[in-house]
Chain A
Amino acid sequence: MDALLDVLTAICLLGGALMSLAAAIGLLRFPDLMSRMHAATKPQVLGLFLMLAAVGLQLRAWSLVPLLLVAWLFQLLTVPVSAHMVGRAGYRTKHRRPELLSTDELHDVVAAVVEDRDEA
Chain B
Amino acid sequence: MEIVVVIAAVVLALAAAGTIYRIAAGPSLLDRVIAADVLLAIFGAALAMEMALTRHTDNLALLVVISVIGFIGSVTVARFVAHRKEEA
Which A residues contact B (CB, under 8 angstroms)?
Answer: 6, 9-10, 13-14, 16-21, 23-25, 27-28, 33, 36-37, 40, 43-44, 47-48, 51-52, 54-55, 57-59, 64, 67-68, 70-71, 74-75, 78-79, 81-82, 85-86, 88-90, 92-95
Contact = CB atoms under 8 A, between A and B. Distances in A.
Q: Binding site of A, secondary structure by majority: helix, strand, loop or mixed? A: helix
B57 A64 contact: yes
Contacts of A64: 57
Chain B at the A interface: SS class: helix
Interface string B20-64: 011000001011011101100110110011011101010010011
Interface size class of B (residues with CB under 8 A): 35 or more
B60 A71 contact: yes
Given A33-B30, A89-B82, A47 B45 contact: yes
Interface string B59-88: 010011001101100110111011001100
Given A59-B57, A64-B57, 17 more contacts: A16-B45, A16-B48, A19-B45, A20-B11, A23-B38, A24-B14, A36-B31, A40-B34, A44-B38, A59-B55, A71-B63, A71-B64, A79-B67, A79-B71, A82-B74, A89-B30, A95-B30
